[in-house]
Chains A and B, each alone.
Chain A
Amino acid sequence: MFGDFDYKVILASLPYLFGTGMVFTVTLTALAASGGIVLGTIIAMMRLSGVAFLVPIARIYVDFMRSLPLVLVIFWFYFLVPYIGQWITGASRPISVGAFTSALITFTLFEAAFFSEIMRAGIQSIPRGQTSAAQALGLNYVQTMKSVILPQAFRNMLPLLLTQTIVLFQDTSLVYVISLTDFMGAASKVAQRDGRLVEMYIFAALVYLAICFSASFLVRRLQRRVAIIR
């Protein structure tokens, strides 16, 4: 039980856990969230464009990604990305891209499907009259989106985008399956090296709980502020 709970193991591994593990987790989350939001917005715009071949492509992409377990998608890209790299660069053999790049591509493409559903709702939440007004002013599609629709859509959807980013932050722990050293991976390596599974896993759980709980608390406060102005 707690009698032989060894705090020293945690203290000694703090620099490794945060310096290596948490930095990795936060970097991956930030890059994948930015990439995912950009790509997700493009997919949402494709889906709402009404262009005959773009709409089904966007729909199939989103439905496809949302039907698959993230673990399977991580494995897919881990093996597929070297071949795609070979195909793009025309190299003679599959190129090694490194596990981080592969994980980043995976999370960006996977989360884009979820971000695109949020952005689609965001774009649809803007009254049609605004699009008509922008067109009447002589703005083209790109200008309408860039200066009128998207800024408001982002603003309205900011709480949901951030909530999805917290989910992404938690999901990045799944890079464990391709042996990357994110925060959880670092905790598990120390746990196995020192035979201190209880201490390390409870500590990891508490850190995730503290970060995600505070983050979602802040998002809820933001939500109230955005809601009042809206």
Chain B
Amino acid sequence: MNYNWNWGIFFEPSPEGVGTYADMLLSGLGWTLATALCSWIIAFSLGSLIGVMRTMPSPVAQAVGTSYVELFRNIPLLVQMFLWFYVLPEMVPEVIGTWLKQLPNASFYTAVICLGFFTASRVAEQVRAGIQSLPRGQRAAAIALGLNTWQTYRYVLLPIAYRVILPPMTSEFLNNLKNTSVALTIGLLELTARARSMQEFSSQVFESFTAATIIYLLISLTVVMLAGALERRVAVPGSR
């Protein structure tokens, strides 16, 4: 291969004026983590709500939940990103639209909202599956004890359901983290975007992508380890 390897490239100054190429990648990592964590907060709370709605006796709640999941699961993430970023500011009243367009870090907020709503549909499916995997008697027992719907979910169904679905929720968390890279299409300077611009500036293709790859692998490993520890701590006693 006639490729000029140069692993020292990371310590050379980046064309941005401040810092090295390594600093550039690390700032990308920062945006990736910030986007992943902020959007996960939305995804987890909204997803739990939608998932619960799909298991409620009320047909209206079920219909709303089902429509949400179908809507957000059947449109590609890239298209959803463009809808939030390019279409939404045109659809709202002009004052708000202009404000949205001039917002500093607009791509970050857009990415957080978009990923939050997108991942919520996946979280909702896991929460629903978790609740439905519980024996029917649990809900019946809660009602027999005189708990209302809110109390039934809060004290009986959800605490067990969340523990049951911890492994699939870990992969949804990682999917959400990996999906932050789609936000480079709306100009978010996250890790993949940074690796890409490093490659463009320095033409060291393989070094910059190798670095990004290793960082993603390390994040995955860390998350899997943390989730494993959490799983052992909250395991339902006697379940395995």
Contacts and interface: CB of A to CB of B under 8 A. Distances in A.
B1 A68 contact: no
Contact of B220 (A67, A75, A198): A67
Contacts of B178: 67-70
Given A64-B217, A67-B174, A70-B178, A197 B90 contact: yes
A212 interface: yes
Interface string B179-204: 11110110000001001100100000
A177 B2 contact: no
DSSP majority for the B interface?
Answer: helix
A177 B184 contact: yes
B70 interface: yes
B75 interface: yes
Contact of B71 (A72, A184, A209): A209
A1 interface: yes
Contacts of B91: 1, 198
Contacts of A72: 181, 192, 195, 209, 212-213, 216
A216 B69 CA distance: 12
Nearest to A93: B2
A127 B213 CA distance: 39
B103 interface: no
Interface stretch (B47-55, B78-86, B141-149, B230-238): B78-86
Most chain B beta-carbon contacts within 10 A, residue among A64, A71, A213: A71
Interface string A174-192: 1011000000100010010
A165 to B, nearest CB: 14
B205 interface: yes
Interface string B135-164: 000000000000000000000000000000
Contacts of A93: 2
A176 B217 CA distance: 24
A86 interface: yes
A223 interface: no
B83 A202 contact: yes
A213 B71 CA distance: 8
A50 B211 CA distance: 33
B209 A213 contact: no
A184 B2 CA distance: 36
Contacts of B79: 173, 184, 201, 204-205, 208
A171 interface: yes
A79 B209 contact: yes
Contacts of A202: 83, 87
Contact of A201 (B2, B83, B179, B184): B83
Nearest to A199: B87
A75 B86 contact: no
A37 to B, nearest CB: 21
A201 B82 contact: yes
Interface string A130-167: 00000000000000000000000000000000000000
Contact of A184 (B76, B205, B209): B76
Nearest to A202: B87
B75 A79 contact: no
Contact of B78 (A68, A184, A209): A184
B230 to A, nearest CB: 19
A170 interface: yes
B206 interface: yes
B76 A170 contact: yes
Interface string A74-90: 01100110010011000
Interface of B: 1-3, 70-71, 73-80, 82-83, 86-87, 90-91, 174, 178-182, 184-185, 192, 195-196, 199, 205-206, 209, 212-213, 216-217, 220-221
29 contacts: A64-B217, A67-B178, A68-B216, A69-B179, A69-B180, A69-B216, A70-B181, A72-B195, A75-B192, A79-B205, A92-B2, A93-B2, A170-B77, A171-B76, A173-B78, A176-B78, A184-B78, A191-B86, A197-B90, A198-B87, A202-B83, A205-B83, A209-B71, A209-B74, A209-B75, A212-B73, A212-B75, A216-B73, A216-B74
Given A70-B181, A212-B74, A213-B70, 12 more contacts: A1-B90, A72-B209, A80-B205, A92-B2, A173-B79, A177-B185, A197-B82, A197-B86, A197-B90, A205-B80, A208-B79, A209-B74
